[in-house]
Chains A and B, each alone.
Chain A
Amino acid sequence: MSATTAAAWSRTRQEPNWLVRLFEWKPFLVIACLLPAVGLLTVFLTYPLGLGIWLAFTDTTIGRRGIWVGLENFEYLLEDPLWWNAVFYSVFYTGVATVGKFALGLWLALLLNNHMPFKSLLRAIILLPWIVPTVLSAIAFWWIYDPQFSIISFLLVDILGVRSTNIDFLGSAWPARWSLIAANVWRGIPFVAISLLAGLQTISPSLYEAALLDGSTAWQRFRYITFPMLLPILAIVMTFSIIFTFTDFQLVYAITRGGPVNSTHLLATLAFQRGIPGGQLGEGAAIAVSMIPFLVFATLFSYFGLARRKWQQGEGND
């Protein structure tokens, strides 16, 4: 047998071209990957926010470049009853709507967490108020609250006959305030319900079985198992919900535009009202900036008050 040896062969290393080398150079790669994100954030987040804060300290109006006036805008706001009114309604609106959304949303989530026919279809239907553009649902509610053509009045007066006159939903301060809150609750429930449903599904069914064997009633299972286990998710959802509700603009602006007689202005609608139709850009910006402390407070409250629980943290004894 003749031994034939193969010609010595080794894999030739090809020199990578300059482009490949450039992309293998880590500093370049880091910058290249970060740039789009940083660019977008700068243009669409940092710049408007910075400009807004800057404007709040100037007396800019539409068409006139303002000068630095320090805290003058804020001092003015503190004496402005309309601002105080908006602060009151923003807090009231957020508080009441959040309670409503969470009570109904949690109830709905608990219902949907059970086995029932058409479960996934029902879950999809629940999401409807959330996916409809806010302005469209606002216009729908505008009709529902219409003094003449309201379906609710129609039902109560013409069908059921429990009232003799139409309800004036949006014509005076308190009914308008409650009407807006109802619309906001309707719109906010899906977010809460679906998020809490996701949270409920992370709770192991065997915990309920164990509690069942331990002799718990349905209420005790909710009180001692479901609620504490849900609390971390509840805190996060509540933080988001409070932020969304406090900064709400579309619903109020589309239904009442802050009326009647400025009684339903939220800080966001008031800021817009002052800044754009009113032309006082500096003052409008100051109103917008005045929301920041409220939001920071709400966030910190739910974060520290509700989110952190010792049992969730891993190791670290005592």
Chain B
Amino acid sequence: MASVAIRNVRKAFGPVEVLHGVSVDIADGEFVVLVGPSGCGKSTLLRMLAGLENITAGDIAIGNRVVNQVPPKDRDIAMVFQNYALYPHMTVFDNMAFSMKLAKAPRAVMEAEVGRAAKILGLEQLLQRYPRQLSGGQRQRVAMGRAIVRNPQVFLFDEPLSNLDAKLRVQMRAEIKELHQRLRVTTVYVTHDQIEAMTMADKIVVMNSGNVEQVGPPLELYDNPANLFVAGFIGSPAMNLIPGRIGNGGFEAEGGAVLPLPPTAKNGAGTYGIRPEHMRLDPNGIPAKVQLVEPTGSETQVFLRIGETPLNCAFRERVSAGPGDTIHVSPDLGLVHLFEAGSGRRLAA
């Protein structure tokens, strides 16, 4: 096991720079999730960590050893690929034992190691099957087994759950997290799904177009997003981000709504942010017209309009109002985020 340090790393493909100086510190045994929209450079960063892409500038160190010039096989890492990259012509056993076979390990060692990994993952019955004969979840487990067998310093996961259906994804998510808690190996996990990031990570790195937007524990990112991008990206349903400016009676939103401000509000705010789940039904609140009601069972999402300003709310209560009705809502003032006009940085309350 080892810590990982990424220091001011840049990556350019020809004239196009896709990573503009990324720095992340990963402690030993930590589960770090790189999250961001498609094309933000998170997979590229992971592949640079694995040694599959070279590093244009900056340093990557695994356990205090700078690995910029170290070939992938000597970096002591194991990677689980998005499409699993199982060798189709080898059985599950051979897939998992391949790295040892290349290293000319004795048969007994291979059987012991593969047996250990298979037991952890519940693959004992499948060792003689070929990947084609496995279901998606089983293939995923084999891919992880292949990584476990290597006993690496660092596990790398490249969007490992994106090929699974929704139910299996939730199940495998729990399995991967549980596995990490058992093995305590430093893990870097790439995903574009912020729910995966929130549920699995010890620490989330939010990336956007080649830059790190914010690094922190999941709830820290949820409670105190550093800027508009993180605020909009983390949390589901997404935070309401309402442009406007601070006026006399409150926040004057584009579209006509006037929203109440917390007493500590400072000038200079250009965007008013409130999460849907932080809106509540309040007979003395702002009147708003219901556009659409989406009950999900545990909560009810209501899309409202205050004047012309759209607002998405999520209530624990059942809402009986239908489209066209007027209801009264108010934001939880302690949980309102204000973002600086122009820079988009959050203004500390």
By a beta-carbon cutoff of 8 Å, the part of chain A in contact with chain B is 204, 206-207, 209-217, 220, 224-225, 228-229, 309-318
Contacts A204-B85, A206-B82, A213-B72 aside, 19 further interface pairs with beta carbons under 8 A come to A209-B72, A209-B81, A210-B81, A210-B146, A211-B98, A212-B51, A213-B77, A215-B73, A224-B98, A224-B102, A228-B89, A310-B130, A311-B88, A311-B89, A311-B130, A313-B132, A314-B133, A315-B133, A316-B133
Pairwise interchain contact B85-A214, C-beta atoms closer than 8 A: no
CB of B52 within 8 A of chain A?
yes
Which 4 A-B residue pairings sit nearest by Cβ, starting from the closest? A215-B73, A214-B99, A206-B85, A210-B85
B295-332, CB under 8 A of A: which get 1 and which 0?
00000000000000000000000000000000000000
Bound-state Cα–Cα, A206 to B159, Å: 14
Bound-state Cα–Cα, A206 to B132, Å: 17
Pairwise interchain contact B132-A311, C-beta atoms closer than 8 A: yes
CB of B50 within 8 A of chain A?
yes
Residue of A204, A210, A211 with most chain B CB atoms under a 10 A cut-off: A210
Pairwise interchain contact B89-A204, C-beta atoms closer than 8 A: no
Residue of A213, A228, A316, A318 with most chain B CB atoms under a 10 A cut-off: A213
Pairwise interchain contact A212-B73, C-beta atoms closer than 8 A: yes
Residues on the A chain within 8 Å of B79, using CB = 209-210, 213
Residues on the B chain within 8 Å of A316, using CB = 133
Within 8 A of A (CB), among B81-139: 81-83, 85, 87-90, 98-99, 102-103, 128-133
Pairwise interchain contact B102-A220, C-beta atoms closer than 8 A: yes
Residues on the B chain within 8 Å of A224, using CB = 87, 98, 102
* Nearest-neighbor residue (CB-CB) of B149 within chain A: A214
Residues on the A chain within 8 Å of B132, using CB = 311-314
Residue of B51, B78, B102, B103 with most chain A CB atoms under a 10 A cut-off: B102
* Nearest-neighbor residue (CB-CB) of A220 within chain B: B102
Residue of A214, A216, A220 with most chain B CB atoms under a 10 A cut-off: A214
How many residues of B sit at the interface, in one of the four size bands? 20 to 34
Residue of A211, A229, A309, A318 with most chain B CB atoms under a 10 A cut-off: A211
Pairwise interchain contact B72-A317, C-beta atoms closer than 8 A: no
Pairwise interchain contact B102-A214, C-beta atoms closer than 8 A: yes
Pairwise interchain contact A213-B73, C-beta atoms closer than 8 A: yes
Residues on the B chain within 8 Å of A314, using CB = 132-133
Bound-state Cα–Cα, A317 to B92, Å: 13
* Nearest-neighbor residue (CB-CB) of A208 within chain B: B85
Bound-state Cα–Cα, A204 to B89, Å: 13
* Nearest-neighbor residue (CB-CB) of A318 within chain B: B128
Bound-state Cα–Cα, A311 to B132, Å: 7
Q: What's the minimum C-beta distance from B86 to chain A, rounded to whole angstroms?
A: 8
Bound-state Cα–Cα, A315 to B131, Å: 10
Q: What's the minimum C-beta distance from A48 to chain B, rounded to whole angstroms?
A: 42
The residue that B89 contacts in the complex, of A211, A213, A220, A229, with Cβ under 8 A, is A229
Bound-state Cα–Cα, A206 to B50, Å: 13
Can you give 5 contacting A-B residue pairs, CB < 8 Å? A209-B50, A215-B103, A224-B102, A225-B87, A228-B89
Pairwise interchain contact B130-A213, C-beta atoms closer than 8 A: no
Bound-state Cα–Cα, A312 to B87, Å: 12
* Nearest-neighbor residue (CB-CB) of B50 within chain A: A213
The residue that B133 contacts in the complex, of A211, A215, A229, A317, with Cβ under 8 A, is A317
Pairwise interchain contact B83-A206, C-beta atoms closer than 8 A: yes
Pairwise interchain contact B52-A214, C-beta atoms closer than 8 A: no
Pairwise interchain contact B98-A214, C-beta atoms closer than 8 A: yes
Residues on the A chain within 8 Å of B102, using CB = 214-217, 220, 224
B129-158, CB under 8 A of A: which get 1 and which 0?
111110000000000001000100000000
Pairwise interchain contact A204-B72, C-beta atoms closer than 8 A: no
Q: What's the minimum C-beta distance from B69 to chain A, rounded to whole angstroms?
A: 15
Pairwise interchain contact B87-A209, C-beta atoms closer than 8 A: no
Residues on the B chain within 8 Å of A206, using CB = 81-83, 85
Q: What's the minimum C-beta distance from A235 to chain B, rounded to whole angstroms?
A: 14
Pairwise interchain contact B83-A214, C-beta atoms closer than 8 A: no
Bound-state Cα–Cα, A221 to B146, Å: 17
